[in-house]
Amino acid sequence: MLTPEAQPFPSSIPQAPVPPGYALRDVQLELSLKPFWDDSDATRDGVCRELFTQWLPLLRYAETVSVMLLLGDGSEILEYTGELSQEMEWARYIGTANPLHWPPVELWANPDPDHEGIGRNVTALDPERKDTHQHGYLYRPNPPRLTYDWLAGLVSALKRIGGEVTGKRILVGDIFDIGPEFAKSKFKYEWHREILGKGALFGGQFVSCEAVLEADDRVYAGYPDGIPDGTPFGTFLGRQSRRFFEDCGLDFLWLSNGFGFGLEPWSLVGQVFDGLRFDQSQAPGVASRILKFWKDLRSELPTQYRIRTRGTNFGAGTDLSSDASPLREIYAGGFELDAPVNSPWASIDQDIGVELSGWMARIAQRPGDGYRFRFYIHDPWWMNSPWLDRFERSAHELVLPGAISRLKADGTAEAPCDVAFLSVDDSYGRLPPQVPNEVIPQLLRVREFIPDGAGPLVWVYPFDDFHDYVLGDGPSRPELPIFGDWFARSLINEGVPLNQVADAGEFAKCVKAGRLLGGVVPVSPVPRPGSPHEVALQAHVEAGGHVFLYGPLEPDSAITAALGVKIGEPLEGDFQLEGDDAFVIRHTATFSGGPWRETADPSQIANLWSASAQYNGQNRLAGLVRETLTGGRWAWLRGSLTTSEFDPANPKPILGPLLKPLPRAKFFPSERFARQALKALGWSFQITRENQDARAPFTVLHRHRNALIAGNFFPAPHVGLSLGTPLGAPLFVSAHNVIADGQTVIPHGPAAQRECRWFVEGQKAGTIRVRLLHPGLPMVRRRYLLSGLENATVHFLPEPDTEAALRILRNPIFPYFLDEIHPTKIEESPWGPLATASHVTGELLFEW
């Protein structure tokens, strides 16, 4: 329910119920100073009023509204002297404000033409270095010179005018960024270069959170006598922020681009992983230094000023394996911060698997009582407006992340309660009205069907075990967290609907309390032997449920025994795929959680499905599905992560930031086995493609009010997708559902979200239409007509609390008063309450 503060209309005005998903705790509008083409009060107030008016159709559903000012790169905080008349450096550029040497093109270029990459060294092509990653341009001639007292006036105006337009409390914040991009910074790149990290990929460019400042006799707001030698950067930033916020009326600080979550947060390498080997001995020291930053920051910045975070581009496991980032301890440290949002990086390179898996890994556990979704509509620096150009007005970056949720211990799903927009103005400071006019309806449509239940697939994330593998007292396994994250990314990119996450500890409580539906399929890295995580997975299978595991198996573990797998000698290299001489699987121990050791045990019973590969005459098991005596099923994939950058014959460090694919005409990606394994669990995601390198369609599935909600996005043409479920072929509302081989063919087209309450078995082909009819009668709320059925069994998932009103008619005749009434019986099933009609030919009408 909406809180009283968030009611969109006065209670005296009659209105239909507002979908619960519309209710938002906070909407964050991110705004640069570029729209303020001069420093007059009239311009300031006009921009503020236009801002809130444009977004009012969404803001009416929020409890609070935040404006995050993209003032600069945070140097306006660092260089603040305490004099409000001081002129302020601000982000008035298109491109890099502090041109530095970007990494060479070979580190960023992606062979996939659909992947653009980030940062291009075009010096050889353009000797004048005019690329925006090498040069900054003023966004307009003679931009205004702005002062801190002007900024204080802007903050006051935003709160005053925002309150007038929206009737809500307005919060205003500022960002601190680690890099050279947004505003010229004397502090970072002239006065105190000692704060720049020494990372392998971005050395000398990004501020390190562990930095210590050298002495400086300049005047600062928090240090009027200068900076004492040895001052921790976190302490300095905290004290400067407090003074800056007090004087200008700001409410929160945004830490951008991974700051505070690693020592070089934009790369795959760090203090623990050098791109070739893991050195866990460095982990405790690195983690303590990162954690010290947060303690130093909060020692000076009171908790009344909330900290919001962007996070890195990767998941918690990747940051642990590379840089020993202690996310668990940061979350539990009482620092009053928000969990990192989904990275906008995937919006640029279309590696949606990195975006979704990284976000889920970081919210498996989370501080506070909610988390934030961020949508990339404009870029005020890099001459692009993703909604209008990169996305081409496709809603896939709403539909796919919009299916993300956390499964809680009580069996319910937690969706994001906050939404942010990067940014509401473009690189020229314009506020194009077509963007909020188009985006708001798309967002509200997605949130109308927010996840509220478990499954169908749940990524069980061993948040604590991953931390213990790197930072704990037990066995050191730093290679496992990074593999756990990146193989999940590969599954998502291969079309597996992995869009709900559960912390392993909360998942175990959910199973123990009997709150997990039997039809839910947990997808999990192989659990630590003897852990509550392992016990919960075993209990789910023993109760007749199915489990999908991936990763290396341990000798003598209960899971290994249940799978009937033997552990052989460690191998890595190019394995010939058994049964298909055209393909090999390249297994690299570095990124695959270790060498390949699993092999089939010929003494065991036959599997429902299995796949193997050969290396120098030795067999290795790639995956299997096995049924237990209770009817439960174990599915397992070993998983082999590869990259075109790594040559086993001449191994060199892999710096990232991405794992680039090998040519799929020869190298078989092991994540493709997932669809074969899932089919043995009742879920079919059949993909047809003319070109093996063509990208798979993205699929997300979640539950909403007992319905199945499917989202799809086709990034490549001439790739087909058919969907089957344990209940049969899904029938989507307001659609002509084409059935082929007992599965529903998903049509190409714009990214779409589809509601399904009906599934058909027994009918292998044909077109079944599901049509929403008008209610017709005062006692009827919903009425749907299914046509095109041929001797079919139809399963129906009713809305909660409508079972008593449900009426099913066979071959009805308008106006549907006196027709053949089908006996309605609601039964409990592994997928929730279920009604079934058998041997149906013609039409069925459902009303409630």
Give me the mean pLDDT over the 314-329 stretch.
97
List the alpha helices (DSSP H) in 253-369.
283-300, 316-323, 327-331, 345-349, 352-363
Give me the mean pLDDT over the 350-356 stretch.
94
- The confidence score (pLDDT) of residue 819 equals 72
What would the pLDDT profile of 578-610 be if each residue is shown by its tens digit?
A: 988 889 999 999 999 999 999 998 888 889 999
Query: Residue 825: how many CB atoms within 10 A of its CB?
Result: 12
- The confidence score (pLDDT) of residue 231 equals 98
Q: How confident is residue 120, by pLDDT bands cut at 50, 70 and 90?
A: very low
**Long-range CB contact pairs, 577-584, < 8 A, 24+:** 577/611, 577/613, 577/622, 577/668, 578/611, 578/612, 578/613, 578/614, 578/619, 579/611, 580/668, 582/666, 583/666, 583/667, 583/668, 584/613, 584/666, 584/667, 584/668
If one compares 348 and 68, the residue with the highest pLDDT of the two is 68
Quickly list DSSP for 375-441.
EE--BTTTTB-TTTTTSTT-THHHHTGGG-EEE-TTS-EE---EEEEE-SS-TTS---THHHHHHHH
In angstroms, rounded to a whole number, what is the distance separating the alpha carbons of residues 67 and 163?
12
Q: How confident is residue 657, by pLDDT bands cut at 50, 70 and 90?
A: confident
Quickly list DSSP for 171-225.
EEEEEE-SSSSSS--HIIIII-GGGB---TTTTTTSB-TT-EEPPB-S--SS-TT
Please provide the distance, in angstroms rounded to a whole number, between the alpha carbons at the two ends of the chain. 23
Give me the mean pLDDT over the 15-21 stretch.
87
CB of 481 within 8 A of CB of 317? yes
What would the pLDDT profile of 362-395 be if each residue is shown by its tens digit?
A: 999 999 999 999 999 999 999 999 999 999 999 9
Q: φ, ψ for residue 392 (rounded to 5)?
A: 55, 40
pLDDT at 299 over 90: yes
Give me the mean pLDDT over the 482-503 stretch.
98
- The confidence score (pLDDT) of residue 824 equals 85
Residue 764 Ramachandran class (φ > 0 left, ψ -120 to 50 alpha, else beta):
alpha
- The confidence score (pLDDT) of residue 108 equals 40
In angstroms, rounded to a whole number, what is the distance separating the alpha carbons of residues 442 and 439?
5
In angstroms, rounded to a whole number, what is the distance separating the alpha carbons of residues 542 and 534?
12
- The confidence score (pLDDT) of residue 301 equals 98
What would the pLDDT profile of 121-149 be if each residue is shown by its tens digit?
A: 444 445 565 778 778 899 999 999 999 99
What would the pLDDT profile of 449-484 be if each residue is shown by its tens digit?
A: 999 999 999 999 999 999 999 999 878 999 999 999
* Residue type at position 412: T
What would the pLDDT profile of 242-251 be if each residue is shown by its tens digit?
A: 999 999 999 9
Look at residues 64, 163, 70, 165 and name the one whose alpha carbon lies nearest to residue 372: 64
Q: Which residue do the tokens 């399963």 mark?
A: 795
What would the pLDDT profile of 663-718 be if each residue is shown by its tens digit?
A: 988 999 999 999 999 999 999 999 999 888 899 999 999 999 999 999 999 999 99
Q: Which distant-in-sequence residues (6+ apart) come within 8 Å of 172 by Cβ?
A: 66, 67, 68, 69, 155, 158, 159, 249, 250, 251
Look at residues 761, 766, 785 and name the one whose alpha carbon lies nearest to residue 839: 761
In angstroms, rounded to a whole number, what is the distance separating the alpha carbons of residues 750 and 752?
6
Burial class (CB in 10 A: 0-12, 13-18, 19+), 518: middle
CB of 710 within 8 A of CB of 700? yes
Q: Which helix (H) or strand (E) holds 787?
A: strand 783-796
What's the longest Cα–Cα distance across the chain?
A: 90
If one compares 104 and 185, the residue with the highest pLDDT of the two is 185
| Domains of the chain with bracketed CATH | 4-99+135-404+414-421+431-445 (3.20.20), 457-682 (3.40.50), 698-847 (no CATH)
- The confidence score (pLDDT) of residue 128 equals 60
Sign of CA dihedral 52, 57, 60, 66: negative
CB of 413 within 8 A of CB of 407? yes
- The confidence score (pLDDT) of residue 107 equals 42
CB of 357 within 8 A of CB of 386? no
Say whether 318 sits in a helix, a strand or coil: helix
In angstroms, rounded to a whole number, what is the distance separating the alpha carbons of residues 781 and 802?
10
CB of 544 within 8 A of CB of 570? no
- The confidence score (pLDDT) of residue 9 equals 59
- The confidence score (pLDDT) of residue 200 equals 80
What does the block give as tokens for 467? 């931390």
**Cis link prior to 456 (omega < 30° from 0)?**
yes
Which of the residue ranges 196-205, 220-229, 613-622, 791-800 would you say has the lowest mean pLDDT? 196-205
Look at residues 308, 315, 325 and name the one whose alpha carbon lies nearest to residue 345: 315
What would the pLDDT profile of 406-448 be if each residue is shown by its tens digit?
A: 999 999 999 999 999 999 999 999 999 999 999 999 999 999 9
- The confidence score (pLDDT) of residue 818 equals 66
Strand partners, 736: 769
Query: Residue 580: how many CB atoms within 10 A of its CB?
Result: 11
In angstroms, rounded to a whole number, what is the distance separating the alpha carbons of residues 676 and 496?
11
Say whether 491 sits in a helix, a strand or coil: helix
- The confidence score (pLDDT) of residue 4 equals 47
CB of 254 within 8 A of CB of 374? no
What does the block give as tokens for 815? 């106006």
Strands (E), 602-645: 609-615, 618-627, 633-637
* Residue type at position 616: N
What would the pLDDT profile of 173-197 be if each residue is shown by its tens digit?
A: 999 999 999 999 999 999 999 999 9
In angstroms, rounded to a whole number, what is the distance separating the alpha carbons of residues 469 and 317?
10
How high does pLDDT run on average in the chain? 93
Give me the mean pLDDT over the 83-109 stretch.
77
- The confidence score (pLDDT) of residue 110 equals 43
In angstroms, rounded to a whole number, what is the distance separating the alpha carbons of residues 408 and 394?
31
Count of H-run helices and E-run strands, the chain: 19, 40
pLDDT at 2 over 70: no
Give me the mean pLDDT over the 323-352 stretch.
93
Q: How confident is residue 494, by pLDDT bands cut at 50, 70 and 90?
A: very high
Rg (CA), the chain: 28
Question: Percentage of the chain with pLDDT > 90?
Answer: 83
